[in-house]
Amino acid sequence: MRVGPRKGRLDQRCRGRGLAEIAEESGAHLVQISTDYVFDGSKAEPYSETDEPNPNSVYGRSKLLGEVNAGSAATVMRTSWVYSTHGANMVATICRLMQGESTLQFVDDQVGYPSYTGDLAVAIRDLARDRSSGVWHCTNAGAVSWHGFAQEVLLAAGEDPARVLPIKTDELDPPRPATRPANSRLSNDRYNATYSPLPDFRQNLQSVVASYL
């Protein structure tokens, strides 16, 4: 369910509450997918599950509300910078842009861990199977800026990564309507201590890129 502003306020009745009640009544286990946007991105180090959320966008606040309404028995899995062979995602965007532009510009002052949906699906399955309640951070390994990620996509496509030029967030034209965290890195220590760590994001990037070429 998609929830946006409603008369200037978030509709607190919708976000996650109904699913939590249904899961409790039926004995099912709820996995609520959340995001790095619950943090403001000002921390110098990767965010842990115990760090205090401080979202600075409507999207981040709605996702945090979903975490709260999911209830203490649910699994809340936060991830970031998701890419896939399907749907709208940054790999698809970069592959489209590189077909028609000689140079591309991406910000180098936002950093995070890109996460492949195929790997996240395995993590979701394991957390759901074990009914692992509470908050879990789960991303692929390999911290990179959006500029660096775009370069990796071009490399995987057999293109020259020098075509990607770095810019700052405040140089974006037009500016992005929502504030994005400068630091989107999520610490996976809890997940990695319990399950097999997800691989570096580059491991599956080439096959994903190939699906768009």
Instruction: Give the DSSP per-residue string, 130-166.
Output: TT--EEEE---B--EEHHHHHHHHHHHTT--GGGEEE
Counted domains in the chain: 1
pLDDT, position 2: 35
**191 classed as catalytic:** no
Average pLDDT over residues 136-151: 98
Average pLDDT over residues 137-162: 97
**pLDDT band (50, 70, 90) for residue 179:** confident
Global pTM reads 0.87
8 A C-beta contact, residue 20 and residue 71: yes
The model's pLDDT over 187-197, given as tens digits with 9 standing for 90+, comes to: 999 999 999 99
Task: Find out whether the peptide bond into 174 is cis, omega within 30 degrees of 0.
Answer: yes
DSSP state of 75: E
- For residue 108, the enclosing domain spans 5-210
**pLDDT band (50, 70, 90) for residue 205:** very high
The model's pLDDT over 30-71, given as tens digits with 9 standing for 90+, comes to: 999 999 999 999 999 999 999 999 999 999 999 999 999 999
pLDDT, position 24: 86
What CATH code is carried by the domain that includes residue 104? 3.40.50.720
User: Which residues 6+ apart lie within 8 Å of 9 measured at CB?
Assistant: none
Find the catalytic residue in 37, 47, 59, 83. Answer: 59
Widest CA span of the chain, in angstroms?
56
